[in-house]
Structures are given as structure tokens and as C-alpha cells.
């Protein structure tokens, strides 16, 4: 009897469909721990501890916590306006970065950049998003990278805007407490032209005092172009001949971006290459990109948060590990091959039974 002359019964098709679904379920390992879970959890826990440490240090120094705009009292959201506020800020962006799991997101970006322990990374911080800075530092510590950090002191609204607790002070606090092993090797004023244009001289003096008390070499070339050259020289010197594997830009430093608008033209997150036709002065980020260095850009925070499905408004602060980035759907090749083999075997057996054996049984029953 030719197999093509027979029709497979509806019940057999249903059984085959059920078996196919079961095979798919068997192939999928559901949600399991991400292979980078360890690094991500270490970074998130460190970030949470760092924020708590900054908060306590502010309390010890008699600096008020901005509980009005910082409902979690994280300690890393400052006042909207102060003597060293250089630009307007977005409060929601500052709040989003206080989530300790933002550090795990940075680890994921580093993973996608194919970094490994011991790799050299160049970093640019501003005072505008201290929580994002801490996230990057936490990721660096967990992955044991070698950063070369240059910071600017000025901060946009709700950043590290307290003259007595600038970003440099926060960074020094974390290092002195043993939470981080790396800190800025140089700093500039930041703000317009990286020279804090528009800030009154007596307030610039407060910024310079922060440089002095934190014992950080000061970048003051007198112009934006000179400061950019100085930064590139510092990165080259501290790299000591080792290749810079990644450039990390946090915030809107004009020395890093070349021109403020470039911060919105550069895609958020990891970029392996960049369009070199960006407007204005060629800042550090574009010079790094021309040298083939991938870039992690952390400025348009909402887009990064959306991509990684973090909470838009992290109130209360989520616990370390409470985010999708710690988990992933995984598929096992071995299980897939086994499931397909079993599925094919079952299909052949069922079709043989349905097309040949069952008709014979029915004919025998009818002949009796």
C-alpha cells in the first residue's frame, strides 16, 4: 500500500501538534541566570552601598539631603540651582540613574563591548549625573577593568551641585572608604567651553577649592580646544602603551562631546562606530571613534532605561538583582537536538500506526 494514498487522521495531527509544542517547551530553558550574573550583581550591590555611603557622608558634613526632589533620599541628587550649577537638568533622568541595577546595565554594555578584566578604558565624568558615574565605577570594579578617569566639576540641575560635595568629593569619599580603587586623574571646571563661562569668579573659586582639597591635577588650557588636547594627552600617557578598549562618556561634557548638541546625536549606549560628520569642534569622543575605539554614551538615560526595561520611577529603590538584565532566555543545543530526534521518532511511529497498523486492526475487527 503506498503511503501517499493514505490520509493522516485529525487526532494524529492533534497529537503531533501537542508533541511539537512540548518539544519547544523542552528546548527552552525558561529564564535562567545570565552568564554575567556575578558581575552584574556585584556591581549593583556596590552601587547601592556607594549611594548609602555618599548619603551618610553628607549627613556627617551637615549637608542637607534633598528629600523633596529625591524621594528615596539617595543622597546623589542635589539642588536644582547652586553656585556651581552650569546648565539646566532633567530630574527624572537623575532619578532613573539612582537605581542600583543601572550598574548592571553598564556591565551589560561592557560585555557587549567584549571587555575583559585588565582592559584599559578611558572615562569622562561630569558632576551632572553622579549616580550614573557611580554605576560606571561599580561596573569597572566588578569587572576589574583599568580606567583612566577625567572629570569636570560643574553640574547641571539636580546633579552634584553642592560646592562642598562636588563629584570629586563624592569620588574621594568612595575611594577613602575602600569602595572603589580608581578615581579621577585630572579634572576641569566643565560648563561652557569647559571653562565654566558664565559662572561668577567667586563661584569658580569654590570649584577650584574642590580640585585642591581632592588633590586632583587641574586642566586649564584656557580654551576648549586646549582642554580637549590635554585630555587626549592624559589618556595616552596613563594608558602606558596599552590599547584603550572603550571610551565611556557620562553626561554632557563639552570637552568630551565637542559641542553640546552632539550629546543628542550620538546614540545612547554602545556604539562600535560613530558618524564622524557630527557638528562643531571635534571632542574627545569623536577623536576616540576615529581611532577605532568603541564608545559607551550615557546621556539620554530614558532610552537606555526603556531598552533594559528598568523602572521609569525607581521609588522605592529596587533591590540589586530586581531587573530583567540579570536574566535571559537560553536555548540548549543538546536539548534541541535530542528534542528534534525524539519528535521525529514519535511522528514516524504515530504515522506508521495511523496509516498502516490501525487500518489492519479495523479490517480484522470488521471481518469477524
Q: Identify which of 318, 301, 279, 278 has the alpha carbon closest to the alpha carbon of residue 156.
A: 301
5: pLDDT strictly greater than 80? no
- Please, which residues have CB within 8 angstroms of residue 201's CB and are 6 or more apart in sequence? none
Please tell me whether residues 11 and 105 are part of one structural domain.
no
1: pLDDT strictly greater than 70? no
- Please, which residues have CB within 8 angstroms of residue 361's CB and are 6 or more apart in sequence? none
Please tell me whether residues 280 and 352 are part of one structural domain.
no
Please tell me whether residues 20 and 93 are part of one structural domain.
no
Please tell me whether residues 126 and 187 are part of one structural domain.
yes
The region of weakest confidence among 10-24, 78-92, 231-245 is 10-24
| pLDDT confidence of residue 353 | 66
What's the whole-number mean pLDDT along residues 233-258?
97
Q: What are phi and psi of 69, to 5 degrees?
A: -95, -5
One-letter-per-residue 3-state SS of the chain: CCHHHCCCCHHHHHHHHHHHHHHHHHHEEEEEECCCHHHHHHHHHHHHHHHHHHHHHHHHCCCCCCCCCCCCCCCCCCCCCCCCEEECCCHHHHHHCCCCCHHHHHHHHHHHCCCCCCCEEEEEECCCCHHHHHHHHHHHHHHCCEEEEEEECCEECCCCCCCCCCHHHHHHHHHHCCCCCCCEEEEECECECCECECCCHHHHHHHHHHHHHCCCCECCCCCHHHHHHHHHHHHHHHHCCCCEEEEEEECCCHHHHCCCCHHHHCCCEEECCCCCCCCCCCCHHHHHHHCCCCEEEECCHHHHHHHCCCCCCCCCCCCCCCCHHHEEEEECHHHHHHHHHHHHHHHHHHHHHHHHHHHHHHHHHHHC
Please tell me whether residues 115 and 178 are part of one structural domain.
yes
Q: Kindly tell me the burial class for residue 73, based on how many C-beta atoms sit within 10 Å of its own C-beta (0-12, 13-18, 19 or more).
A: middle
| pLDDT confidence of residue 308 | 95
- Who has greater pLDDT, 85 or 356? 85
- Please, which residues have CB within 8 angstroms of residue 301's CB and are 6 or more apart in sequence? 93, 96, 97, 129, 132, 268
Please tell me whether residues 353 and 288 are part of one structural domain.
no
- How far is it, in rounded angstroms, from Cα 22 to Cα 32? 19
96: pLDDT strictly greater than 80? yes
Assigned C-alpha cell, 79 = 539642588
What's the whole-number mean pLDDT along residues 139-158?
97
| pLDDT confidence of residue 27 | 52
| pLDDT confidence of residue 2 | 43
pLDDT digits (tens, 9 = 90+) for 268-301: 999 999 887 766 778 999 999 999 999 999 999 9
Q: Identify which of 244, 233, 228, 230 has the alpha carbon closest to the alpha carbon of residue 283.
A: 228
The region of weakest confidence among 124-138, 174-188, 321-335 is 321-335
| pLDDT confidence of residue 3 | 42
- How far is it, in rounded angstroms, from Cα 113 to Cα 121? 11
What's the whole-number mean pLDDT along residues 109-120?
97
| pLDDT confidence of residue 4 | 43
Confidence grade of residue 16 (pLDDT, cut at 50, 70, 90): low
320: pLDDT strictly greater than 50? yes
Considering the chain, what percentage of its residues have pLDDT values greater than 90? 73
pTM value is 0.83
Residue 247 CA from chain centroid, whole number? 13
Please tell me whether residues 235 and 205 are part of one structural domain.
yes
| pLDDT confidence of residue 338 | 64
- How much is the mean pLDDT over the chain? 88
What's the whole-number mean pLDDT along residues 72-91?
94
Please tell me whether residues 167 and 223 are part of one structural domain.
yes
- How far is it, in rounded angstroms, from Cα 144 to Cα 154? 28
β-bridge partners, 187 = 151, 218
Q: What are phi and psi of 342, to 5 degrees?
A: -65, -40
Confidence grade of residue 108 (pLDDT, cut at 50, 70, 90): very high
Q: How many domains does the chain have?
A: 2
| pLDDT confidence of residue 349 | 75
Please tell me whether residues 126 and 201 are part of one structural domain.
yes
- Who has greater pLDDT, 93 or 335? 93
Residue-range definition of the domain harbouring residue 338? 3-31+332-367
220: pLDDT strictly greater than 80? yes
Confidence grade of residue 260 (pLDDT, cut at 50, 70, 90): confident
| pLDDT confidence of residue 279 | 64
Please tell me whether residues 224 and 149 are part of one structural domain.
yes
245: pLDDT strictly greater than 50? yes
Please tell me whether residues 144 and 194 are part of one structural domain.
yes
Please tell me whether residues 233 and 357 are part of one structural domain.
no
CA-CA-CA-CA torsion sign (155, 156, 161, 163): positive
| pLDDT confidence of residue 295 | 97
Amino acid at each position: 500500500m503506498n503511503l501517499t494514498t493514505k490520509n493522516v487522521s485529525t487526532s494524529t495531527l492533534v497529537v503531533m501538534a501537542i508533541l511539537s509544542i512540548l518539544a519547544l517547551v523542552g528546548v527552552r530553558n525558561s529564564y535562567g541566570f545570565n552568564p554575567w550574573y556575578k558581575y552584574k550583581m556585584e556591581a549593583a550591590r556596590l552601587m547601592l552601598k556607594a549611594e548609602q555611603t555618599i548619603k551618610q557622608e553628607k549627613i556627617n558634613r551637615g549637608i542637607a539631603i534633598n528629600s523633596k526632589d529625591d524621594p528615596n533620599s539617595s543622597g546623589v541628587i542635589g539642588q536644582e540651582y547652586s553656585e556651581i550649577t552650569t546648565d539646566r537638568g532633567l530630574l527624572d533622568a537623575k532619578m532613573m540613574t539612582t537605581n542600583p541595577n543601572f550598574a548592571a546595565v553598564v556591565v551589560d554594555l561592557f560585555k557587549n563591548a567584549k571587555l575583559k578584566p585588565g582592559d584599559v578604558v578611558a572615562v569622562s565624568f561630569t558632576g551632572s549625573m553622579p549616580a550614573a558615574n557611580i554605576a560606571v565605577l561599580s561596573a569597572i570594579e566588578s569587572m576589574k577593568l583599568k580606567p583612566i578617569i577625567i572629570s569636570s566639576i560643574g553640574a547641571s540641575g539636580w546633579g552634584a551641585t553642592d560646592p562642598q560635595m562636588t563629584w570629586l568629593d563624592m569620588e574621594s569619599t568612595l575611594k577613602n572608604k575602600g569602595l572603589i580603587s580608581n578615581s579621577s586623574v585630572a579634572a576641569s571646571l566643565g560648563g561652557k567651553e569647559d571653562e565654566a563661562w558664565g559662572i561668577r569668579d567667586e563661584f569658580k573659586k569654590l570649584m577650584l577649592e574642590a580640585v585642591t582639597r581632592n588633590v586632583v591635577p587641574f586642566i586649564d588650557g584656557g580654551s576648549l580646544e586646549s582642554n580637549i588636547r590635554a585630555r587626549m594627552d592624559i589618556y595616552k600617557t596613563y594608558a602606558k602603551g596599552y590599547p584603550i578598549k572603550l571610551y565611556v562618556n557620562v553626561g554632557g561634557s563639552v570637552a568630551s562631546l565637542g559641542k553640546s548638541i552632539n550629546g543628542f546625536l550620538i546614540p545612547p549606549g554602545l556604539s562600535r562606530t560613530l558618524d564622524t560628520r557630527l557638528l562643531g569642534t571635534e571632542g574627545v569622543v569623536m577623536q576616540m571613534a576615529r581611532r577605532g575605539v568603541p564608545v559607551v554614551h550615557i546621556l539620554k538615560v530614558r532610552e537606555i532605561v526603556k531598552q533594559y526595561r528598568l523602572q521609569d520611577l525607581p521609588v522605592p529603590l529596587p533591590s540589586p538583582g530586581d531587573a530583567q538584565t540579570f536574566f535571559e532566555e537560553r536555548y540548549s543545543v543538546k536539548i534541541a537536538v535530542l528534542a528534534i530526534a525524539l519528535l521525529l521518532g514519535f511522528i514516524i511511529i504515530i504515522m506508521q500506526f495511523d496509516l498502516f497498523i490501525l487500518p489492519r486492526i479495523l479490517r480484522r475487527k470488521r471481518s469477524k
